[in-house]
């Protein structure tokens, strides 16, 4: 991300096509040449991983903007410890309860240099009508920080303050759960009532840290994902430990031709899609749905990628008829601060509750499970 918004060595080396960056709707030209505090762009990442056989774990997609679901990870563990205390007594299960402390420590570590010794952190939410509002309020409570909306913040002399009953209080770090487009009506969408006028000016002046940084969407674009092995090799001169799912880029004529000929066998995803929306799962789709998708692909090939239908691993799941196998994936959470990166010893296991379904997203009827990492 730093390279894309600064030197662009990877573009000059022709590892990634220029147009895939500059014509991308999530690329933020406002971030060109903009330094971010301590050079950390992705403070909180959620990396979706699937297992496709007895040994191989592969990365399904990256979430570098505002990965969600950590509240379910914490709640699942709390419920499991209440229901099955004997199981926890018999096994050395690594704790996930320290996540809020780790997150707060990470956020404070990336505060601007102008911040006080005890930086003030706030969680910025779009408000009660957002589908993830429960998580926003849950995390703010667990972290012991203020939950704020755009209207609670004000910019003065390129510094951010929040309104309190005792007057204005400076905010050094904003864990924002508001999309780029709505952050600042002076820089992005002028019709946004969710953001803070002048926030980007304070950000550019280096007086506030936004987590995650503005413009990180370019790193979890599904077309960019297909280049991730090459990206890893370019910057680290080594092979990725975790493999990608084989991916056809519909923007490329040869790949598009293959995808159109094999639609009934493939999973097709929108490049900027999320929540399981805008997907085609070929083997489970009707002929009418496949043909409708064929038309979409012909009209906007650059908006889609395609992947083989994976035989995701399953996990025993309690359903109406008893225990039955259901497909799962795993989202570990990765925290990156000024000096270190930590991985939560657990994560969010998402489960497709519908029989035979491969879509684990909660918005599509999926559920979640507690995930154990055993201490040796």
Can you list the positions of beta strands (E) in 119-233? 121-124, 146-148, 153-156, 159-164, 167-170, 173-176, 209-211
User: Mean pLDDT across the chain, nearest whole number?
Assistant: 92
For the chain, give the longest Cα–Cα distance.
Answer: 65
**Which two tokens mark 356?**
């035979």
DSSP string, 205-225: TTS-EEESPTTGGGGS-HHHH
pLDDT confidence bin for 276, thresholds 50/70/90: low
> Is the bond leading into 212 cis (omega within 30 degrees of zero)?
yes
Listed by start position, the domains of the chain span 2-89+96-239+313-369, 246-308
Other C-beta atoms closer than 10 Å to the C-beta of 48 total 20
CB 194 within 8 A of CB 127: yes
* 361 vs 63: CA distance, rounded Å: 14
**pLDDT at res. 354:** 86
Give the global pTM: 0.90
CATH of 246-308, one of 3.40.50.720, 3.30.1490.270, 1.10.630.10, 3.10.450.40: 3.30.1490.270
pLDDT digits (tens, 9 = 90+) for 138-176: 999 999 999 999 999 999 999 999 999 999 999 999 999
243-244 vs 57-63, strand pairing mode: parallel
């Amino acid at each position: 991300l730093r390279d894309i918004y600064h030197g662009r060595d990877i573009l000059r080396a022709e590892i990634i096509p220029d147009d895939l960056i500059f014509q991308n709707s999530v690329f933020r030209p406002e971030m060109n040449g903009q330094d971010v505090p301590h050079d950390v762009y992705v403070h909180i990442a959620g990396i979706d991983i699937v297992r496709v056989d007895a040994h191989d774990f592969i990365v399904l997609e990256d979430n570098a903007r505002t990965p969600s679901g950590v509240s379910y990870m914490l709640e699942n563990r709390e419920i499991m410890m209440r229901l099955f205390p004997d199981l926890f007594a018999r096994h050395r299960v690594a704790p996930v309860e320290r996540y809020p402390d780790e997150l707060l420590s990470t956020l404070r570590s990336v505060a601007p240099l102008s911040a006080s010794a005890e930086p003030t952190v706030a969680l910025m939410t779009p408000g009660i009508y957002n589908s993830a509002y429960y998580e926003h309020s849950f995390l703010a409570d667990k972290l012991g920080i203020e939950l704020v909306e755009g209207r609670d913040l004000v910019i003065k002399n390129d510094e951010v303050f929040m309104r309190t009953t005792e007057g204005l209080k400076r905010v050094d770090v904003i864990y924002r759960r508001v999309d780029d487009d709505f952050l600042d009506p002076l820089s992005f969408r002028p019709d946004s009532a969710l953001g803070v006028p002048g926030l980007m000016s304070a950000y550019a002046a280096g007086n506030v840290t936004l987590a995650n940084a503005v413009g990180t969407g370019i790193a979890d674009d599904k077309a960019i994902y297909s280049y991730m092995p090459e990206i890893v090799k370019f910057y680290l001169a080594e092979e990725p430990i975790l493999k990608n799912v084989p991916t056809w880029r519909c923007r490329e004529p040869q790949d598009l031709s293959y995808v159109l000929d094999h639609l009934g066998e493939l999973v097709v995803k929108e490049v900027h899609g999320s929540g399981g929306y805008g997907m085609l799962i070929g083997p489970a789709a009707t002929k009418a749905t496949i043909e409708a998708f064929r038309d979409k692909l012909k009209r906007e090939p650059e908006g889609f990628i395609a992947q083989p239908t994976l035989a995701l691993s399953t996990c025993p799941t309690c359903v109406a008829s008893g225990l039955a196998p259901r497909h799962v994936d795993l989202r570990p959470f990765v925290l990156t601060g000024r000096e270190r990166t930590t991985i939560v010893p657990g994560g969010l296991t998402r489960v497709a509750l519908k029989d035979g379904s491969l879509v684990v997203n909660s918005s599509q009827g999926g559920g979640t499970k507690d995930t154990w990492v055993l201490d040796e």
